[in-house]
Amino acid sequence: MTAVEIAAAVRSGQRSARSVVDEHLDVIAGGDADIHAFNLVAAAQARARADEIDGAVAAGRDPGPLAGVPVALKDNLCTRGLATTCSSRILEGWAPPYDATVVEQLHNAGAVVVGKTNMDEFAMGSSTENSAFGPTCNPCDTSRVPGGSSGGSAAAVAAGFAPVALGSDTGGSIRQPAALCGVVGVKPTYGLVSRYGLVAFASSLDQIGPFTTTVADAAAVLDVIGGPDARDSTSISEPQPPVSDTLADGIDGLRVGVLTELSGNGIAPDVAAQLQAAVRALESAGASVAEASVPAAVYGLSAYYLIAPAEASSNLARYDGVRYGLRVDGPSTPDMNTATRSAGFGDEVKRRIMIGTYALSAGYYDAYYGKAQKVRTLIINDFASVWEQFDLLVSPTSPTTAFPLGERAADPMAMYMSDVCTVPVNLTGQAAMSVPYGVGDDGLPVGVQIMAPALGEPVMFRAAAVLEASL
């Protein structure tokens, strides 16, 4: 059952939330040993919450638009009293004293949190292999990675453990795993969804979004988690129209651009073929399609791998052994800080902290961080001229289908290249999503990325619905 179907059945009293939750907990118990999507399954809490929802229905109250829908949360979203680890040893044992805004919103909409999902440590990675608790496997082929960094969330939805999961996307960490696991993944416009309670990686790029099996489910979740929040100073202050309302409006007359810089060089032929099939489907539905060029997009990866580590080096300074999580003692506070951080962080996190510290350090700031911020402006300007001619852009989400576990783990540059199609949109703050569109030569899922201008979610979802219906 989809999330929309579950909510309808629970709200009308046709099905109990408890039976829905029990069913999903059974699937998790039977299957997660092979996938390792979860860091923690909150079975007792989920059953208690489901009973509350059933009580509300019995009393004639509406539990909300996601009534009884099991939801898995990436383990960098704060959950009051429930361990939140970011898949890092440095936060082991920490239970936040508050809920993230999105967690409150899901709760108020009647959803049921079933657990916290595995991820690359502090969301740094593209395969979920950089987890202190071991990798997640792709449910489509357990010898392959699920993508990352929200690989546990993507795998949880693909494996049927939960119809909905939330992830975070700093450079593609929702869209790329969605593509590799064959599910829908949305990176909303920067500022549409509150980041309060999302453990910060790169604050000017991070955005929370949903994983689902259907476009309508993703719309239903986004309509719940989007909106202003006084606790996030980067939150867009005007409420936006519900995406679900216009989902079926079609795309007749829309102008769609195929983003050439992200669709040619380096894209596997079988992935490119699926993009072409998707383009034909959009044309059949009445859209006009032409090539679109954002020349500066090719510099996206370089700008991203300076800006994101720079922000991370600052954000991760707070893990110092004083206020939460791990402490490794030393004779002085600086020694204790160093011992704690050296023991608590994994290799990729250390690498990124060092890149960022270097890019921000005296003598190198202008050459690296300063230059990267100007490249960001260049990319924003290039996109702005393209939006004068196009309503939407498309590209592959990932250059390849899911790669084998271990293949890129020892080669950071090869891993960073996995993000080439997704990072430009984080730098510009625009909306983007990945929609599954057939399979590659290896039988593994291919995702098509749809990009829209800032707050272009309604149009983006209409195109996603068209692609979904054309399969």
- Just list the catalytic residues: 74, 149, 173
Smallest distance from the beta carbon of 323 to other proteins, in angstroms? 6
Percent helix, percent strand, percent coil in the chain, to nearest 5? 45, 15, 40
Smallest distance from the beta carbon of 66 to other proteins, in angstroms? 25
Smallest distance from the beta carbon of 304 to other proteins, in angstroms? 9
Which of 93, 165, 150, 88 shows the shortest CA–CA distance to 346? Answer: 88
Alpha carbon dihedral 23, 103, 321, 171, in 10-degree steps, equals 90
State which H helix or E strand residue 167 sits in. strand 164-168
Helix (H, G, I), strand (E, B), or coil: what is residue 411? Answer: coil
Based on CB atoms, which residue is closest to other proteins, 13 or 406? 406
DSSP 369: I
Tokens for 235? 């939150």
Tokens for 105? 């919103």
- The CA distance from 6 to 14, in Å, is 10
Q: How far is CA 83 from the centre of its chain?
A: 20
Smallest distance from the beta carbon of 333 to other proteins, in angstroms? 5
State which H helix or E strand residue 310 sits in. helix 300-315
Smallest distance from the beta carbon of 404 to other proteins, in angstroms? 19
* Cβ neighbours around 264 below 10 Å, total: 12
Based on CB atoms, which residue is closest to other proteins, 34 or 347? 347
- The phi, psi pair for 226, rounded to 5°, reads -80, 160
Smallest distance from the beta carbon of 394 to other proteins, in angstroms? 21
* Angle, vertex CA 5, rays to CA 241 and CA 65, nearest 5: 40
- The CA distance from 58 to 60, in Å, is 5
> Are 149 and 349 within 8 A, CB to CB?
no
